[in-house]
Amino acid sequence: MKQFDIIVIGAGSGGLVAATTAHRKGLKTALIEKNKIGGECTHYGCVPSKALINTAKSFHSLKKMNSLGISVDLPKPDFGEIMEKVDEIVQGIYAHETPEVFEDIGIDVFVDKSGAKFIDEHTITIGEETLEAKNFVICTGSGPGIPNIEGIDLVSVLHNENFWELRTHPGKIVFIGGGVISIELGQSLARLGCDVCIMDRNDRILRVTDEEIGNYLCRQIEKEGVHLITESSPVRFTDKNTMVYSSNGEEKTLTADHFFIAAGRSPNISGMDLEQAGVTYNERGIDTNEYLQTSVSHIYACGDVTTPFKFTHTASHQANICIDNILQKNTKLNDLTVLPWAIFTDPEIGHVGLTETEASQKFGEKNISIFKVDANIDRFITDRKTGGILKVIFNKEDLVVGAEAVGAHAGEWIQLFTIVIKNKIPAAEMADTIFAYPSYSEIVKKAFSRYMRTK
Helix pair 46-62, 180-191: axis angle to 10 deg: 40
Q: What pLDDT was estimated at residue 415?
A: 97
Name residues whose C-beta falls within 8 Å of residue 410's C-beta, 6 or more positions apart in sequence: 342, 347, 348, 349, 350, 388, 390
The domain locations on the chain are 2-38+97-143+266-328, 152-262, 341-453
> From CA 375, how far away is CA 382, in angstroms rounded?
12
∠ CA 365-371-377, rounded to 5°: 170
Looking at every residue in the chain, the average pLDDT score rounds to: 97
φ/ψ of residue 137, rounded to 5 = -125, 120
Q: What pLDDT was estimated at residue 47?
A: 98
φ/ψ of residue 333, rounded to 5 = -85, 150
Per CATH, 2-38+97-143+266-328 and 341-453 having the same topology is answered no
- If you compute the radius of gyration of the chain from its CA atoms, what whole number of angstroms results? 24
User: Which residues does residue 254 pair with via DSSP β-bridges, in sequence order?
Assistant: 243
* pTM of the predicted structure, to 2 decimals: 0.95
pLDDT band at 348 (very low <50, low <70, confident <90, very high): very high
CATH topology of domain 341-453: Enolase-like; domain 1 (3.30.390)
- Give the H or E element holding residue 349: strand 348-353
φ/ψ of residue 180, rounded to 5 = -65, -45
For 218-235, the pLDDT digits (tens) are 999 999 999 999 999 999
Share in percent of the chain as helix, strand, coil (round to 5):
35, 25, 40
User: Which residues does residue 370 pair with via DSSP β-bridges, in sequence order?
Assistant: 393
For 166-203, the pLDDT digits (tens) are 999 999 999 999 999 999 999 999 999 999 999 999 99
CATH, domain 2-38+97-143+266-328, list 1.20.1050.10, 3.40.640.10, 3.50.50.60, 3.40.50.300: 3.50.50.60
pLDDT band at 331 (very low <50, low <70, confident <90, very high): very high
> From CA 453, how far away is CA 339, in angstroms rounded?
29
Mean predicted confidence (pLDDT) in 251-263: 98
∠ CA 439-392-336, rounded to 5°: 100
Q: What pLDDT was estimated at residue 137?
A: 99
Mean predicted confidence (pLDDT) in 369-385: 92
pLDDT band at 66 (very low <50, low <70, confident <90, very high): confident
Name the DSSP class of 161. T
* Yes or no: domain 152-262 corresponds to CATH 3.50.50.60: yes
